[in-house]
Structure 1
Amino acid sequence: MRFIQLFALLIVAVGLAHAQGPVSQSRAYPRDYFRQPLDLPPQASGTFAELRSNHFHGGSDYRTQQRIGHPLHAIGDGYISRARVQLGGGGNALYITHPNGYTSVYMHMHVFNERIAAAVREQQYREQRFDVDVRLEPDIIPVKKGDVIGQTGNSGSSQGPHLHLEIRDTESEEPINPQLFGLEFPDNIPPAIQGITVYDLGDEAFSEHTPRRHLQVSAGNSGQYALTQNSVIPINGRTGIGIVTSDKHNGSPFSNGVYSIELLLDGKPIYHAVFERFGFTDSRALNSHIDYPYYILKRTRIQKSFVDPNNPLEIYKQLVNDGVLALTDNDVHQLMYRVRDVRGNTSTVGFSVQHNAAYQPERKRTPGTVIFNYDKENRYASDHLQITVPENSLYDQLHFSYAQGTKPAKGYSLMQHVHNRMIPVHRGYQLAIKPDETLPVHLYGKALIVDSRGNSQGGRYEDGWVRTTAYSFGSFYVGVDTVAPTIRPQNISEGKNMAALSRMNLLIGDDLSGIQQFNGYLDDQWVLMEYDPKARVLWHVFEPGLSKGKHHFRLEVVDWKDNKQVYEVNFLR
Structure 2
Amino acid sequence: MWKTKNYLILKLNKQLTLFILCTLTSLGLAAQPSPQAGFFTFPIKPGVRNYLSGSMGEIRSNHFHGGLDIKTDQREGLPVYAAADGYISRVKQSTYGYGNIIYITHLNGLVTTYAHLQSFNLPLAEFMLKKQYEKKTFELEIFPEPDKFPIKRGDVIGLSGNTGGSGGPHLHFEIRDEKDRLYNPLKYKFTEILDTTPPDIYTLGILPLNIHARISNEFARAEFAAKKVGSTYTLADTVKAHGLLGLELQTNDRLDGAANKNGTQEVTLFVNGKAIYQHHIEQVPFEISRQVSQHINYNMFKRYGRTFQKAFVDYGNDLPLYRANYQQGRFAVKPDSIYEVKLVAKDSYDNSSTLQFIIKGQKPVFTAMQAKAVKQPKLTTEILGNVLKISASDTSSTPQNVELFIKGKAMVLVPSYIRNAASVSLYDLRGGLPDSIRSCGVSQAFSFKQMVPPAQETEVKTDFATIQFGKESLYDTLYFEAKQEADVYTLGDYFTPLHKAIKVTITPPVTYKDKTKAAVYFLGTGRGRGYEGGTWNGNSITFTTRNMGKFKVMEDVKAPTIKLLGKSPNQIRFKIGDDLSGISSFNAWVNGQWLLMKYEHKQALIYSEKLDKSIPLSGEVILKVKDVAGNEAVFTTKI
Length-normalised TM-score, structure 1: 0.88
Q: Among residues 67, 71, 77, which one is paired with 1:59 in the alignment?
A: 67
Q: Among residues 225, 240, 245, which one is paired with 1:216 in the alignment?
A: 225
Name the stretch that deviates more: 339-348 or 387-396: 387-396
Distance change (3 Å), C-alpha of 1:356 and 1:467 = same
1:486 partnered with 2:486: no
The one-character-per-residue Cα deviations of 1:228-256 (angstroms, maximum 9, x if unpaired) are 2x22x222222111010000011211100
Aligned residues: 523
Distance change (3 Å), C-alpha of 1:568 and 1:265 = same
* Aligned partner letter, 1:120: M
In the alignment, the residues of structure 2 paired with residue 549 and residue 278 of structure 1 have an alpha-carbon distance, to the nearest angstrom, of 48
Q: Among residues 157, 171, 190, which one is paired with 1:163 in the alignment?
A: 171
In the alignment, the residues of structure 2 paired with residue 467 and residue 485 of structure 1 have an alpha-carbon distance, to the nearest angstrom, of 26
Distance change (3 Å), C-alpha of 1:533 and 1:545 = closer
In the other structure, the counterpart of 1:562 is 630
1:349 partnered with 2:424: no
* Aligned partner letter, 2:70: Y
In the alignment, the residues of structure 1 paired with residue 63 and residue 114 of structure 2 have an alpha-carbon distance, to the nearest angstrom, of 18
In the other structure, the counterpart of 1:512 is 580
1:340 partnered with 2:346: yes
In the alignment, the residues of structure 2 paired with residue 471 and residue 530 of structure 1 have an alpha-carbon distance, to the nearest angstrom, of 30
Q: Structure 2, unaligned stretches of length 5 or more?
A: 1-31, 366-415, 418-423, 434-447
Shift of 1:512: 1.0
Residues 99-498 of structure 1 mapped to structure 2, 5 A cutoff: 99-169=107-177, 171-183=178-190, 185-203=193-211, 211-222=220-231, 224-228=232-236, 230-231=237-238, 233-328=239-334, 330-358=336-364, 362=424, 365=427, 367=433, 368-405=448-485, 407=486, 414-436=487-509, 438-440=510-512, 442-452=513-523, 453=527, 454-492=529-567, 498=568
Which of the pair has the greater relative contact order for Cα pairs under 8 Å at 6+ separation? 1
Q: Which SS does the other structure have where 1:238 is aligned?
A: strand
Q: Which SS does the other structure have where 1:236 is aligned?
A: strand
Distance change (3 Å), C-alpha of 1:543 and 1:141 = closer
Distance change (3 Å), C-alpha of 1:153 and 1:426 = same
Shift of 1:420: 1.1
CA contact (8 A) 1:518 1:556 kept: yes
The one-character-per-residue Cα deviations of 1:237-288 (angstroms, maximum 9, x if unpaired) are 2211101000001121110001101111111111101011111111111111
CA contact (8 A) 2:595 2:609 kept: no
Q: Which SS does the other structure have where 2:125 is aligned?
A: helix
Q: Which SS does the other structure have where 2:543 is aligned?
A: strand
Shift of 1:27: 8.8
The one-character-per-residue Cα deviations of 1:446-496 (angstroms, maximum 9, x if unpaired) are 11112334332222322322222111110112111111111111013xxxx
In the alignment, the residues of structure 2 paired with residue 312 and residue 27 of structure 1 have an alpha-carbon distance, to the nearest angstrom, of 26
Q: Which SS does the other structure have where 1:288 is aligned?
A: helix
In the other structure, the counterpart of 1:21 is none
In the alignment, the residues of structure 1 paired with residue 618 and residue 137 of structure 2 have an alpha-carbon distance, to the nearest angstrom, of 25
- What RMSD, in angstroms, separates the aligned Cα atoms of the two structures? 2.1
* Aligned partner letter, 2:479: H
Shift of 1:549: 8.2
In the alignment, the residues of structure 2 paired with residue 325 and residue 201 of structure 1 have an alpha-carbon distance, to the nearest angstrom, of 9
Shift of 1:540: 0.3
Shift of 1:70: 0.6
* Aligned partner letter, 1:212: R
In the other structure, the counterpart of 1:19 is none
CA contact (8 A) 2:521 2:531 kept: yes
Q: Structure 1, unaligned stretches of length 5 or more?
A: 1-25, 408-413, 493-497
* Aligned partner letter, 2:605: V
Shift of 1:524: 1.0
CA contact (8 A) 1:235 1:354 kept: yes
1:532 partnered with 2:597: no
CA contact (8 A) 2:573 2:608 kept: yes
* Aligned partner letter, 2:50: P
* Aligned partner letter, 2:288: D
CA contact (8 A) 1:402 1:419 kept: yes
* Aligned partner letter, 1:448: A
Say which one has the larger Rg. Answer: 2
In the alignment, the residues of structure 1 paired with residue 611 and residue 89 of structure 2 have an alpha-carbon distance, to the nearest angstrom, of 28
Runs of 4+ in 1 over 6 A off after TM superposition: none
CA contact (8 A) 1:247 1:341 kept: yes
Q: Which SS does the other structure have where 2:580 is aligned?
A: coil
Q: Which SS does the other structure have where 2:514 is aligned?
A: helix
1:551 partnered with 2:633: no
CA contact (8 A) 1:447 1:460 kept: no
* Aligned partner letter, 2:223: H
* Aligned partner letter, 1:227: L
Distance change (3 Å), C-alpha of 1:51 and 1:204 = farther
CA contact (8 A) 1:275 1:315 kept: yes
In the alignment, the residues of structure 1 paired with residue 95 and residue 148 of structure 2 have an alpha-carbon distance, to the nearest angstrom, of 25
In the other structure, the counterpart of 1:14 is none
CA contact (8 A) 1:200 1:235 kept: no
Length-normalised TM-score, structure 2: 0.79
In the alignment, the residues of structure 2 paired with residue 140 and residue 542 of structure 1 have an alpha-carbon distance, to the nearest angstrom, of 24
* Aligned partner letter, 1:516: S
